A and B are shown apart, each in its own frame.
Chain A
Amino acid sequence: MELLEIKEHFQVQDESLTFQELVDEAPKIADSIKNKNVIILPSHGSTDAFYSGSLDTLDYLNENNVNTDIYSSDDDYKELGLHSADIWLGTFFIKNIIIPVFCGVIASYIYEKIKAKAGDRISLKFIVEKKDGKSASVSFGGKVEELHKALDAVKEFSDEG
């Protein structure tokens, strides 16, 4: 199955997106998202659709003290049902203050709630707010046992300066 073999993807790069821009560009939900620490963004090259299970992720984060919202109004929200068993968690914008807690909770979600096991493939992207207000992204697609690379990279932004 060499043809279908997907290589690991791991990339850290600067981003121009800021939390304030997210709030400003979404007046319909600005009041709801402005005090949140994590925002789940649309995914898979889409500007308006979220991965299947995004609301489960949202609930889990909120139940575990990570104040999270979805970057969509209730009326506009729709999901992508991708029927591969690969774990597509989506894109998360994370405020700096919550990074350590978020990394612990999202790891619990992956290993304990959705019970990812060695060999499972996972794909996600974290956009992290840096202390200087700018942002950087950490993208990962690969085997779940290598996910620690992405989480370690996210944690490094918390330790900055």
Chain B
Amino acid sequence: MKVNLVTLQDAQHPQIQAQLTSLLKTKKIAALNGDEELANSCWREIEALELNIQFISAFDKIKNRQYREAWCELEKCEIKCLSLEENSDDLFLKRSRTSFIKDKVAKWQSIYPYCVFASPGFTVGYYSCSICGHKIRPRSRCEHKKGKVYNGKLCVHVAHDMEFRELSIVTNPVQKYSVFHNDETLDFSLVEHLASLLENAFENWDLNWTRKKFPMDRFSNVAPSDDCPCKSGGKFENCCIKKEAIDIPHVDFILSKKIPDEKMKVRFPY
């Protein structure tokens, strides 16, 4: 990348857009000429560039407290990382920051408060191959493998004759867009705190989930019928209510730079 692609301003730089346009053009010509290696190489570069831009956009939205929008961008990043991993070597994944982004997307997602999702169930009449249009049947396949790139195009199986069956509430969805929460009722403190420590999307950081004890008086606003702060899944009155201190989940953020003292303090209840 000729522009140092780090910020939203970098992502919007005309040179980046020109680079994308040039790659798309090269890919198209290579595909027409049957130069599959070049077409696939262009596909990788385009996907990686778009991935970087999406990740920067997600980080920018987190900084601006647009948490739901950022969540959807992170999900797009996750999907792109999977396709790139399937079609690239380790060197490319590292050079293109795909490995870094994959690691950080999962960690950002882990500190979001979302835990319930709507999940539609369908029956699918049949799938066809996005490359050659072949109707995929149990005893009839084409030469293309789902998830692989052919002549600059990703092979996916396209669903046909779909019929809606049910809508389920799940904690572990395939796609994470359909969040089943009202953001106004949720606590984004962890996301907000981490964002306040980072200058840009590509600053390195890590996290470590542990547990930490807090004295009972810190939990005076928890009603006996509330869920127990220890996250056992039980009610407070049946769990830790008689203890002197409660052991709750705690997360440490690990950064390589020095953190200002006021941001080093433990933020209860985390």
**Interface size in chain A (residues, C-beta < 8 A):** 26
Partner of B170, one of A2, A32, A78, A84: A84
Q: Which of A43-92 contact B (CB under 8 A)?
A: 49, 52, 55-56, 58-59, 69-70, 72, 74, 77-86
> Which residue from B138, B141, B168, B169 sits with its C-beta under 8 Å from A77?
B138
Contacts A78-B126, A81-B159 hold; do A4 and B121 have CB atoms under 8 A apart?
Answer: no
Is B234 an interface residue, CB under 8 A from the partner? yes
Q: Could you tell me how many residues of chain B have their Cβ less than 8 Å away from some Cβ of chain A?
A: 33
Query: Is B124 in the interface zone, CB < 8 Å from A?
Result: yes
Assess whether A125 is interfacial by the CB under 8 Å rule: no
Q: Which residues of B contact A56 (CB under 8 A)?
A: 146
Task: Flag if B174 contacts A1 (CB, 8 Å).
Answer: no
User: In the complex the two chains form, is A84's CB within 8 Å of B172's CB?
Assistant: yes
Q: Does A5 contact B (CB under 8 A)?
A: yes
Tell me whether B137 and A79 are in contact (CB under 8 A): no
Are A74 and B139 touching (Cβ within 8 A)? Answer: yes
The answer, yes or no, to whether B15 is at the interface (CB within 8 Å) is no
Tell me if A52 and B124 are in contact (CB < 8 A): yes
- Please tell me if A95 contacts chain B, counting CB pairs below 8 Å: no
Q: Is chain B's binding surface mostly helix, strand, loop or mixed?
A: strand
For B167, the closest partner residue in chain A by CB is A83
Q: Which residues on the A side are within 8 Å of B121 (C-beta)?
A: 80-83
Is B172 a contact of A85 with CB atoms below 8 Å?
yes
Across the interface, B138 reaches (CB within 8 A) one of A1, A5, A55, A82, namely: A55
> Closest CB-CB distance, A71 to chain B, in whole Å?
9
Task: Say yes or no: is A121 at the interface (Cβ < 8 Å to chain B).
Answer: yes
**A1 and B124: CB pair below 8 A?**
no
How far is it, in angstroms, between the C-alpha of A77 and the C-alpha of B135 when the chains are bound? 12
B140: chain A residues at CB < 8 Å are 74
What B residues does A1 contact at CB under 8 A? 115-116, 171, 233
Contact between chains at A78 and B169 (CB < 8 Å)? no
* A59 CA to B137 CA, complexed, in Å: 12
Cα distance A5–B138 in the bound complex, in angstroms: 35
What's the minimum C-beta distance from A112 to chain B, rounded to whole angstroms?
14
Minimum distance in angstroms from A32 CB to a CB of chain B? 7
- Can you pick out 12 interface pairs between chain A and chain B where the beta carbons lie within 8 Å of each other? A1-B171, A4-B169, A5-B233, A49-B123, A78-B124, A81-B159, A81-B162, A83-B119, A84-B173, A84-B174, A85-B172, A86-B170
A→B interface (CB under 8 Å): 1-2, 4-5, 32, 49, 52, 55-56, 58-59, 69-70, 72, 74, 77-86, 121
